[in-house]
Amino acid sequence: MDFDQMLETWRAQNTAPPYDVNRVALRQALQSEEARVRGELRSRRRGLWFVWIFYTGLVVWAGLWIAITITNGWPTIYAIAAGVSFGIFEFGVGATWVSRGPRREPPRNFGNTLQEEVRRNLALVDHELSFAKHSIIHVLGAVSLVVGTLLFSWTVNRSQDIPDSSRSGWFIVLLVVWIVWVFYSVRKQMRKAKPKLELRKRRLRELLASLDARE
């Protein structure tokens, strides 16, 4: 090879790219990313199911308490307070149900080509984004649990002549602080997560376009 041939060889790169996508490594990276996200979704769903069952138990308990209050002829204020608690717990049940995000899991069976692996990852990103959209409902569900429990415990204590604890004022303050903390931390988390998800979605779309262009 002389100098001119060297230049010719070098410039041939401009028509034939010197690098291509490492399909094996890309497939592994996509599969491990998919497994990670699916694992996170599973544990999140398990947590939400647990919360949903807990809320449903509270709804049943509040409903029973209303019946007991009416049957025993206790003051109407207790029945009203138990009814409000019942409503709040019902809201919690609904909020938890909605905050699960789309009911259907992102599809698994697009196929096994590299493009289909990318599409599966894209579907997961969309799923995560839709979950992020429902985060505020999730926060409201947590808040309703605290408010409903406070009101319901007040009703039960009063109807059973159990004196309020001297520390209950501080307890309420702590709960309010906790509500505010949950609200802000979830908002902050979502604000951070959304741009990352959008960026991942854009990159996956670009990757898909470049893979399609190579076919």
Partner 1 sequence: MRGLVDAHKAILFKVARVYGATDSDREDLFQEIALQLWHSVEAWRGDCEATTWIYRVALNTALAWRRKERRHRQGRQDIEDATGLLVAPSGRDPRLDWIYQRIAELDEGNRALALLMLDGFSYRDMAQILGLSESNVGVKINRIKAALAAQLAKEEHNGL
CA distance 87 to 158: 19
Nearest to partner 1 of 7, 174 (CB atom): 7
**Residue with smaller CB distance to partner 1, 29 or 174:** 29
For the CB of residue 117, give the shortest distance to partner 1 in the complex, in Å. 13
Looking at beta carbons only, is 13 or 185 nearer to partner 1?
13
Min. distance of Cβ 26 from partner 1 in angstroms? 5
CB 197 within 8 A of CB 132: yes
Q: Considering beta carbons, is residue 25 or 73 the nearer one to partner 1?
A: 25
Q: Coil, helix or strand for 102? A: coil
Place of tokens 């992020």: 132
Token pair in block for residue 102: 């789309």
CB of 7 to partner 1, least distance (A): 6
Residue 14: Cβ within 10 Å count = 8
Q: Which of 110, 120, 106, 105 is nearest to 30 (CA)?
A: 120
Contact between 50 and 30 under an 8 Å Cβ cutoff? The reply is no
Residue 2, classified by CB atoms within 10 Å of its CB into exposed (0-12), middle (13-18) or buried (19+), is exposed
**DSSP conformational letter for 87:** H
Q: How far is the CB of 48 from partner 1 (least distance, A)?
A: 34
Nearer residue to partner 1 within complex by CB, 17 or 73? 17
What is the binding site for partner 1 (CB under 8 A)?
Answer: 1-3, 5-7, 9-14, 17-22, 25-26, 28-29
> Nearer to partner 1 by C-beta: 7 or 64?
7
Angle, helix 76-98 to helix 135-159, in steps of 10 degrees: 160
Instruction: Tell me which amino acid residue 79 is.
Output: A
**Taking the complex as a whole, how short is the minimal distance between the CB of residue 10 and partner 1, in angstroms?**
5
In the complex, least distance from residue 122 CB atom to partner 1, rounded to whole angstroms: 17
